[in-house]
């Protein structure tokens, strides 16, 4: 069983913009490897080169654990390298208006929580962090809440995601193998495997 | 109340309800390639787990291979390491692998349908977001990440939350010069790049039904660009005719039994949808993207938007001006290829435009067939010569300039007319490179003119 994850505590990092795709999170040239090692060093590499004050280049956010994002974060390519790079950089939770489904699934598979809050709440949280980067965040999956300073917002998280993180079943292999005879049974009833 | 194809396939493949509330689904076909799998095999080894159904996984190589000089070892040692890892993993776990020396090799989403591996009513998974492509034959096909590749190898199953189904109906006849690519770009422009989150897209209506499988593959391929988890077209006679005689399709009487079952997987006439979107075919014209996501496109006779969410950032990156016509935008590179548009019918349409013409002097143009089989078929028809005579490069099969994991890439701020699927910042290999997505015929027309033109005006002279 993988570790149980409930509370995530640490400072935040604001990343403004809708539709930030996984090619931007980790450009494809860094996928030419047979491990995920070192990906944290290259997170947002091209965006950082293009934007001198990119949050991921700003030392005041270097210890951040909670990424603040806008709409449709992680769209595009299914590369798990994207959440892997964020996690290896130090991110433990992504808080955004919305996420692409594949990114969210890949994040869950490595124990990285993706939770949603309203556009207004994201704006408040981003402004708060931009004004005071050290502000401690406390995210509780159990309570479905995120607190920062005297701000407390409700977070959206699917029951399945929340349960998997709270119960430590986000690494799904064990769960999927629990009842393997049933898997075999399905294989036997599916016409294209039976051979029509 | 009838059921949709998605519901039927979902029910048939359900293993059980998981403690998390998700559904464990059996995966009927698993396709793998060199980029998203080496870590998955390493995780299996570390856990001492084997591959549950090695006969249900098939491998090829596409992303990292050069399309010019394919001699081994590759010039790029990282690419060589990745291909060597796939060779080793497939050998160790007895997984069939179509390597560069096989005439079955090609882009994973091109060879699945081409070999008849992809069939109606199947669940399919592949560590690549464009796995939605396979829905063109009536399969439910999921793009997944590396940990999920590990799980499919280990258990031939995955955990999913339920999906809604949006029916997208395109009725009527597409005008000459308007292709499947334009239809899907129109759909994404209307519904947005996150409009499909939580949904399967079911494409139907007379314009979709009139399409061949190649065109349906183009439509389903870009479902993911609209945020949809999967996309599909209900199987019909076109689907069955396409599959007949393909190497992995059932043969003889088994084929007839298969057709009967395949037909039964289609959505019932009285199926209930979570919502329905109707787009008249007559409203669609050739489309071109002007921005940095596939939802940012306009009809070729339109002007580039000047206001709206994300417009400033996109125009600044693209070096384009709001309010200016998209026609006349200068290009430096033209790319016909990718899992979206590299099949024989795509190459035929591009060749029809290129025949007897010359690529503009300042344009680098390349045509990259999606598979070795497509390449051979195109050469059989003499399309390679048409392209070469016009000044296009004719390459080996692979992903090529779609994603810049191989030597084919943009330089600096080059502008590329591309038949691929993503115009993200940096997608084609230069962090400042610019992509204009369009149909293969539009790419060919742009290559000749050296700028974006309306293929319909070119076609009237062909």
Please write the tens of the pLDDT for every residue from B158-195.
999 999 999 999 999 999 999 999 999 999 999 999 99
User: Closest-CA residue in chain A for B21?
Assistant: A160
Cβ separation A109–B159 shorter than 8 A: no
CA angle (B349, B182, A74) in 5-degree steps = 120
The answer to whether the CB of B184 falls within 8 A of the CB of B222 is yes
Show the tokens assigned to B72.
């081994």
- Residue A186: is the preceding peptide bond cis (ω within 30°)? no
Q: What are the φ and ψ backbone dihedral angles of B84, each rounded to 5 degrees?
A: -60, -35
Residue B67: its pLDDT value, please? Answer: 97
* Helix, strand, coil share of chain A (percent; to 5): 40, 20, 40
pLDDT given at position B462 = 61
B38 touches chain A (CB under 8 A): yes
**Residue A80 is nearest to which of B145, B426, B429, comparing CB atoms?**
B145
Q: What is the ipTM of this complex?
A: 0.97
Residue at A90 is within a domain = yes
Question: What is the extent of the structural domain holding A21?
Answer: 7-170
Is residue A121 in some structural domain?
yes
Chain A residues touching residue B40 (CB < 8 angstroms): none
- Identify which of B24, B193, B254 has the shortest CB distance to residue A176: B24
Q: In what order do the strands lie in the sheet with B123-126?
A: B97-98, B57-60, B29-32, B123-126, B140-143
Is residue A96, in this structure, part of any structural domain at all? yes
Instruction: Classify residue A124 as exposed, middle or buried by CB count within 10 Å of its CB (0-12, 13-18, 19+).
Output: middle
Secondary structure element (H or E) that encloses residue A131, with its range = helix A119-131
**SS3 category, B77:** helix
By Cβ distance, the residue of A81, A163, A190 closest to B26 is A190
Q: Is B54 on the interface with A (CB under 8 A)?
A: no
Would you state the pLDDT for residue B139?
Answer: 98
For the beta carbon of residue B252, count every other beta carbon within 10 angstroms. Answer: 7
User: Which residues, numbered 199 to 238 in chain B, qualify as contacts with chain A under a Cβ-Cβ cut-off of 8 Å?
Assistant: 224-225, 227, 229
Q: For the segment B138-163, what is each residue's pLDDT rounded down to a tens digit?
A: 999 999 999 999 999 999 999 999 99
Tokens of B92: 């160790």
Spatial distance between the Cα atoms of A51 and B374, rounded to a whole number of angstroms: 42
Structurally, chain A folds into a number of domains equal to 1
For residue B71, pLDDT beyond 70: yes
A5 contacts on B by Cβ (under 8 Å): none
pLDDT value for A105:
96
**Residues B118 and B124: beta-carbon distance below 8 Å:** yes
Question: Is the pLDDT score of B461 beyond 70?
Answer: no
With bands split at pLDDT 50, 70 and 90, how would you rate the model's confidence at B20? confident
Q: How many other CB atoms sit within 10 Å of the CB of residue A69?
A: 24
CA distances from B163 to B219, B265, B334 (A): 19, 17, 37
Of the partner residues A18, A175, A177, the one whose CB lies closest to the CB of residue B309: A18
For chain B, percent helix, then strand, then coil, each to nearest 5?
35, 20, 45
Query: Mind listing the pLDDT tens digit for each residue in B434-448?
Result: 999 999 999 999 999
Burial status of residue A56 (CB atoms within 10 A of its CB: 0-12, 13-18, 19 or more): buried
**Is A2 among the domain residues?**
no
**Helical H segments across B229-277, by residue range:** 237-243, 253-264
Residue B15 distance to chain A (closest CA, Å): 6
| List of domains in chain B | 5-159 (3.30.499.10), 164-282 (3.40.1060.10), 288-459 (3.30.499.10)
**Chain B contact present for A79, CB below 8 A:** yes
**CATH classification at residue A114:** 3.20.19.10
B118 CB-contact burial (10 Å; exposed 0-12 / middle 13-18 / buried 19+): buried
Taking only the tens place, the pLDDT of each residue in B80-98 is: 999 999 999 999 999 999 9
Specify the pLDDT at position B460: 72
Question: What residues contact residue B43 under an 8 Å CB cut-off, 6+ apart?
Answer: B147, B150
Going through B136-272 in order, the beta strands assigned E by DSSP cover 140-143, 157-160, 164-171, 199-204, 230-233
The conformation of residue B176, written as its DSSP 8-state character, comes to T
With bands split at pLDDT 50, 70 and 90, how would you rate the model's confidence at B404? confident
Which parts of chain A have pLDDT scores under 50?
Answer: none
**Mean pLDDT to the nearest integer, B410-425:** 98
Give the confidence band of B63 by pLDDT, cuts at 50, 70, 90: very high
Residue A106 lies in a domain: yes
Q: Does a structural domain hold residue A32?
A: yes
Interchain CB contact of A190 with B (< 8 Å) = yes
Convert the pLDDT of each residue in A65-87 to its tens digit.
999 999 999 999 999 999 999 99
Taking a C-beta distance cutoff of 8 angstroms, is the pair B261, B409 a contact?
A: no
**B308 φ, ψ (degrees, to nearest 5):** 130, 170
With respect to residue A64, please indicate whether it lies within any of the assigned structural domains.
yes
Provide the residue count of chain B. 462
Distance CA B203, CA A60 (A): 48
Can you give the pLDDT at residue B28? 98
The pLDDT, as a whole number, for residue B1 is: 85
Cβ–Cβ pairs < 8 A, chains A and B:
208
- Token pair for A33: 């490897």
Domain-embedded: residue A37 = yes
Q: Look at strands B287-289 and B297-299 and give their pairing.
A: antiparallel
- Minimal Cβ distance to A76: which of B14, B26, B129: B129
Share of chain B above pLDDT 70, in %: 100
**Which parts of B260-418 are beta strand (E)?**
275-280, 287-289, 297-299, 333-336, 364-367, 393-394, 415-418
């Amino acid at each position: 069983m993988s570790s149980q994850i409930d509370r995530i505590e640490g400072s935040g990092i604001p990343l403004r913009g809708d539709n930030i795709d996984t090619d931007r999170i980790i450009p494809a040239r860094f996928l030419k490897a047979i491990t995920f090692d070192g990906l944290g060093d290259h997170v947002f590499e091209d965006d950082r080169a293009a934007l001198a004050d990119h949050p991921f280049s700003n030392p005041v956010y270097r210890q951040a654990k909670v990424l603040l994002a806008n709409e449709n974060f992680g769209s595009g390519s299914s590369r798990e390298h994207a959440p892997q790079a964020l996690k290896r950089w130090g991110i433990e939770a992504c808080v955004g208006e919305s996420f692409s489904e594949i990114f969210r699934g890949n994040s869950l598979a490595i124990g990285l929580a993706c939770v949603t809050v309203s556009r207004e709440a994201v704006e408040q949280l981003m402004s708060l962090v931009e004004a005071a980067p050290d502000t401690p965040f406390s995210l509780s999956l159990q309570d479905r809440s995120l607190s920062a300073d005297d701000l407390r917002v409700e977070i959206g998280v699917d029951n399945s995601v929340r349960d998997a993180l709270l119960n430590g079943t986000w690494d799904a292999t064990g769960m999927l193998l629990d009842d393997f005879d049933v898997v075999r049974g399905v294989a036997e009833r599916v016409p294209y495997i039976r051979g029509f | 109340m009838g059921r949709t194809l998605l519901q039927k396939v979902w029910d048939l493949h359900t293993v059980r309800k998981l403690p998390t509330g998700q559904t464990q689904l059996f995966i009927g076909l698993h396709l793998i390639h060199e980029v998203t799998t080496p870590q998955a095999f390493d995780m299996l080894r570390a856990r001492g787990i084997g591959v549950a159904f090695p006969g249900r996984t098939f491998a090829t190589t596409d992303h990292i291979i050069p399309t010019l000089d394919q001699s081994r070892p590759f010039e790029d040692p990282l690419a060589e390491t990745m291909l060597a890892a796939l060779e080793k993993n497939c050998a160790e776990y007895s997984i069939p692998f179509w390597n560069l020396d096989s005439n079955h090799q090609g882009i994973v989403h091109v060879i699945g349908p081409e070999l008849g591996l992809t069939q109606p009513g199947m669940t399919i998974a592949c560590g690549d977001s464009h796995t939605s492509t396979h829905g063109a034959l009536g399969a439910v096909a999921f793009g997944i990440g590396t940990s999920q590749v590990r799980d499919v190898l280990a258990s031939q199953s995955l955990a999913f939350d339920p999906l809604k189904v949006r029916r997208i109906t395109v009725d009527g006849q597409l005008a000459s010069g308007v292709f499947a690519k334009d239809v899907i770009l129109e759909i994404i422009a209307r519904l947005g790049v996150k409009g499909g989150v939580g949904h399967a897209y079911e494409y139907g209506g007379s314009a979709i039904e009139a399409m061949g499988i190649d065109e349906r593959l183009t439509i389903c391929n870009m479902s993911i660009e609209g945020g949809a988890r999967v996309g599909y077209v209900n199987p019909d006679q076109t689907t069955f005719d396409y599959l007949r005689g393909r190497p992995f399709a059932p043969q003889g009487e088994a084929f007839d039994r298969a057709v009967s079952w395949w037909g039964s997987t289609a959505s019932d006439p009285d199926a209930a949808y979570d919502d329905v979107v109707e787009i008249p075919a007559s409203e669609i014209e050739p489309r071109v993207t002007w921005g940095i996501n596939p939802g940012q496109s306009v009809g070729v006779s339109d002007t580039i938007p000047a206001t709206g969410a994300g417009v400033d950032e996109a125009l600044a990156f693209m070096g384009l001006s709001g309010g200016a016509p998209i026609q006349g935008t200068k290009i430096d590179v033209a790319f016909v290829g990718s899992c979206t548009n590299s099949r024989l019918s795509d190459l035929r349409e591009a060749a029809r435009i290129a025949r007897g013409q010359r690529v503009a002097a300042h344009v680098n143009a390349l045509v990259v067939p999606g598979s070795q089989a497509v390449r051979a078929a195109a050469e059989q028809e003499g399309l390679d010569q048409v392209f070469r005579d016009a000044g296009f490069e004719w390459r080996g099969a692979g992903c090529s300039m779609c994603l810049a994991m191989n030597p084919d890439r943009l330089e600096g701020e080059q502008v590329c007319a591309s038949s691929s699927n993503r115009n993200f910042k940096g997608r084609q290999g230069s962090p400042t490179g610019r992509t204009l997505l369009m149909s293969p015929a539009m790419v060919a027309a742009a290559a000749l003119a050296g700028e974006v033109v309306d293929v319909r005006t070119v076609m009237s002279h062909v």
